[in-house]
Amino acid sequence: MEKKTVLITGASSGIGEGCARKFAMNGHRLVLNGRNVEKLNAVKAELEEKYGAEVWLLPFDVRDRAAARAALDSLPEEWKAIDVLVNNAGLVIGVDKEHEGSLNEWDVVIDTDVKALLAMTRLVVPGMVERGRGHVINMGSIAGDYAYPGGSVYCACKAAVKALSDGLRIDLVDTPVRVTNVKPGLVETNFSVVRFRGDKAAADNVYEGLRPLTGDDVAEVVYFAASLPEHIQIAEVLVMPTNQATGTIAYRKK
């Protein structure tokens, strides 16, 4: 794959960091977004030292549309042509029942997982269309296919990511721009710690008895989709640990 400029949101940890590492080791140029400047700097330092990667940091909260636009406008001219957009930033807070949850927390989840993805798409994709090349990779989830207890709002958000990915693919069908929805199952990252509001023991229990995916594992799938010849479009990938069958069925060793 020729050298490309890759913009990854939520790149300071987990799947986003894994994607940054995978693209860097294969010689691509990275624009990395995240809220945690310290972690972003650490990722940048690692990628530069290990792979000699070119890395540009854009620290902003993807929920802030004005900040997103300003950050993209601030890129040097030679960095503005984004070839691959990985809409990875996402989160869920809590495992509350739908009739008992926090509306304020749900606002954060919906604003991050759905509205920010839309905003980044709106800001970046017109340039791809104008240049006649590009690839949007949205981070969905198995949760978008299977609702489960205590996850209805998150499941709804990831179902929305599927619909938005499919809709964007339809809207871009007369262009060379590709759209991929990657839907991971159980992945062990800081994601679950946030879900359980910082309770690491509760987060660890989610993966007990099986080998979950890692951020690097999901990055392999993302990179595969991005590295295929441009006439091949991977529309959707559902990727799970071997011992997971659906969103709620998994085999766990006692």
What are the catalytic residues? 154
User: Are 21 and 216 contacting, i.e. CB atoms less than 8 angstroms apart?
Assistant: yes
C-alpha 159: how far from chain center: 14
Local structure of 193: helix, strand or coil = helix
DSSP sequence for 126-146? HHHHHHT--EEEEE--GGGTS
Would you put residue 203 in left (φ > 0), alpha (ψ -120 to 50) or beta? alpha
Classify burial at 28, counting beta carbons within 10 Å of its beta carbon; exposed 0-12, middle 13-18, buried 19 or more.
Answer: buried
* Cα three-residue angle 233-134-20, rounded to 5 degrees: 90
Q: H-helix or E-strand containing 150?
A: none
Whole-angstrom Cα distance, residue 45 to residue 59?
Answer: 15
Which letter does DSSP use for residue 221 in this model?
H
> DSSP assignment, residue 182?
E
Q: Closest Cα to residue 32, out of 3, 10, 48?
A: 10
Which residue from 223, 233, 235 is spatially nearest to 1, judged by alpha carbons? 223
